A = this chain, B = another copy of it.
Amino acid sequence: MSTKVSKIAVMTSGGDAPGMNAAVRAVVRACVFNNIECMGVLRGYQGLIDNELIPLDSRSVRNTISRGGTFLQTARSEAFRTPEGRKKAYENFKANGLDALIVIGGDGSFTGGMIFNKEFKVPVIGIPGTIDNDIYGTQFTLGYDTALNTVVEAIDKIRDTASSHNRLFFVEVMGRDAGFIALNAGIGAGAEEILIPEENLGIERLVESLENSKKSGKTSSIVVVAEGDKTGKGVFELKDFVEKNMPEYDVRVSVLGHMQRGGSPSCFDRVLAGRLGVKAVDLLLGGQSNLMVGINNNEITAINLEKAVKLHHDINMDLLRVADILSI
């Protein structure tokens, strides 16, 4: 493990998230600071297979900190799931004189990195980048804070029109497996009810809650629904259900969709990106590998990549009580 690292590859992989550019910038500048070289891999693992790499220096990442998306682009690679694909990737990796890899992405991207490390002894560090915040080993993933603000700003706008018309809105937000966005943005947007994958309250509870809202004098309501909620109904079915059972409600649906993935990163995400990127390079230069960097208790930490992939980042169930109280 103690081969000296002198040229690092960095890639973004899986779903894009705000702050990925800022993290690439941090990796690049930490390399320059430490007098080592850095290359960017385009389109994730597929770019390694296709030998699409670009040299990166301080100036290449100028003015990227404020940009959403990832200028290295990202993709899912079927080829990298095959031994042949990975062999090709490794050959390009060596041909470019690289000796370590930093992967910015989520679970799937880290799994790819672990296999690459196992098969070819390439030092790998993961940086958690996903708006879903569902990665074990870090309290916050890159892009999550930005997505929360995007969702809250959108629902603030929807609230304007809901209040003007005394309407009930079902607002679907991202989160197929985890309710972080729905729960926190729901509280932030003052939602009357929040439906998340982690809790199956049943449709009856929703009806009851809406009836209580109405009794307490609320004339409009916002229900935030995570993609993966457990009522067994999508937002459009929820609309139909409420319209049938509570005909006094004028119901609308809004699916926020992919705009949640974009936008200029928040200050929190930019600073986090900087700290994680610098730490990732520090770890490689210290001879370490197979770690995911993260933020915990406001400090940058590192855990085993395997642990990050296997374990589950649970939402804070106390927030459900807070949400209930605040929607009274």
Contacts and interface: CB of A to CB of B under 8 A. Distances in A.
A267 B151 contact: yes
Contacts of A270: 152, 187-190
A256 B255 CA distance: 8
A217 interface: yes
A160 to B, nearest CB: 3
A127 interface: no
A326 to B, nearest CB: 5
A65 interface: yes
A contact face: mostly helix, strand, loop, or mixed: helix
Given A69-B161, A268-B145, A139 B298 contact: yes
Given A165-B73, A254-B258, A298-B316, A157 B266 contact: no
Contacts of A69: 159-161, 163-164
Contacts of A237: none
A261 B300 CA distance: 29
7 contacts: A148-B266, A158-B258, A160-B261, A161-B258, A169-B258, A188-B271, A297-B297
A109 interface: no
Contact of A33 (B16, B73, B325): B325
